[in-house]
Chain A
């Protein structure tokens, strides 16, 4: 039942893809860069974030200066109003975060409907879900940094949610606030979390890519222009502004919500904290275990490629061509005329047959689809015509 859902959507996606190809050619078809799109926005976030970081002051009061009020809110205000292009850079930073969430969701949906998330690809799926959750958290910490009334509400809501957790709650809450109450150290911690975890994303991306030989990480230039241009237009259409400066003695009760990052807070505001945590944890676990084998029934079980030991010359072509790093080159046994020998890792093999096409010596084959059978079938089809 479950496995029929993505299968049905696959045909629709392929049709859509074909139509897009007719207009944009396969080189500029965004469907082929769905994984690279969030990464493009990540680079934009790093660059714009670096510019904002240069002027940002992570305090809630005059921690560094004795005159005038200088804090996180006033520094953001200064960036927005005084620094040339500051408001635009801030807008780009904010909206590229939103764009990253949108493109990650589209990427995951596409991977799901085209059935490319399970078996030998489970590592990519699981790391992808972890990365998505991390992106959401990093984005939320960005909202705390502005230190307007919304930041204060979000901080308080997070603390109450963390405190609700048994055993680990108070510890997490103290880590989050960098103490027992909101102080200047809290803002420093938010900045540390925001930037530190952003760079941790790179490690997550490495895990995400580690089993792929040739991941597409960069969209072509024309697409980069379009992506950047859309950001610019959104920055113009919806200028960013801060709310009122946070006053820790005040109790603001409502704020404008950014649905891409702050939807958990909406949930938190509408249900009991126990239900909130159940929904968040259950939702995350459900997404993570989606590739579990007993949730689907494979139409055609994968049979890993097999190396014909007597024919392998250790040329590496199959290993280089394999998209999933499923073929290792190991030293050939003693007595062999050749130095290396190809060895297939069955748990990584997708049975795609790329290695069979790469081998010039008939030294690798798919057990359930022999090269000789395929050639015979093609010949028969050609003769029938």
Chain B
């Protein structure tokens, strides 16, 4: 029972990690994913080596609410940074739940009564 739960947690954790890894550049690009927003060296690499950069065009409208919320609250630029911190925060809570759940069996208090002499 314990092992199957752990396996499930590992799988869920891996998926969360993959999603967060994908979201990181998207957030860093200002949540648009436009080719022109990628760093210069990556664009150069893409044009000269045929490296395909992930296309975030589908996800461009995802953060409209976040953007307006952040602007309203005084965050003037680098909104992607804030979005990234949000995603990382959620990912870390997931990681914490995973670690705590997997370590739960070891965490149970085992009382050993000392027998003297």
Q: Is B84 an interface residue (CB 8 A)?
A: yes
CA distance in complex: A228, B70 (Å)? 20
Closest Cβ of chain A: how far from B89's Cβ, in Å? 3
User: Is A222 a contact partner of B96 (Cβ separation < 8 A)?
Assistant: yes
Binds A, one of B2-10, B44-52, B53-61, B99-107: B99-107
Return the contact of A87 from the options B78, B97, B107 (Cβ within 8 A).
B78
For chain B, the count of residues having a C-beta within 8 Å of the partner chain is 35
Given A25-B108, A26-B107, A239-B75, answer yes or no on A225-B81 (Cβ-Cβ < 8 Å): no
Chain A binding site: helix, strand, loop or mixed by DSSP? helix
User: Are B86 and A222 in contact, with the CB atoms below 8 A?
Assistant: no
Contacts of A229 in B (CB 8 A): 88-93, 96
Interface contact A28-B89, CB-CB below 8 Å:
no
Residues of B within 8 A of A14 (CB): none
Bound CA span A26–B110, Å: 11
Asked whether any CB of chain A lies closer than 8 Å to the CB of B23, the reply is no
Whether, in the assembled complex, B109 has its beta carbon less than 8 Å from a beta carbon of chain A, the answer is: yes
Q: How many residues of A contact B (CB 8 A)?
A: 36
Known: A25-B104, A25-B108, A86-B78. A239 touches B70 (CB 8 A): yes
- Contact among A27, A80, A231 with B107 in the assembled complex (CB-CB below 8 Å): A27
- Among B86, B92, B109, B114, residue most surrounded by chain A Cβ atoms (within 10 Å): B92
* Interface of B: prevailing SS: helix
> In the assembled complex, which residues on chain A have CB atoms less than 8 Å from the CB atom of B74?
239-241
Tell whether, in the assembled complex, residue A84 and residue B99 are in contact, meaning their CB atoms are under 8 Å apart: no
The answer, yes or no, to whether B82 is at the interface (CB within 8 Å) is yes
Q: Are A81 and B82 in contact (CB under 8 A)?
A: no
Pick the contact of B82 from A28, A84, A235 — CB < 8 Å? A235
Q: Which residue of chain A is the closest to B78 with respect to CB atoms?
A: A87
Q: Is the CB of B117 within 8 A of A233?
A: no
Cβ < 8 Å to B, chain A residues 230-281:
230-233, 235-236, 238-241
Interface residues of A (CB under 8 A from B): 24-28, 80-82, 84-88, 91, 220-223, 225-226, 228-233, 235-236, 238-241, 357, 360, 362, 375
Given A26-B109, A28-B103, A236-B82, 16 new contacts (CB under 8 A): A24-B100, A25-B108, A80-B76, A81-B77, A84-B78, A84-B81, A88-B84, A225-B93, A225-B95, A229-B90, A231-B89, A233-B85, A233-B86, A235-B85, A236-B86, A239-B75
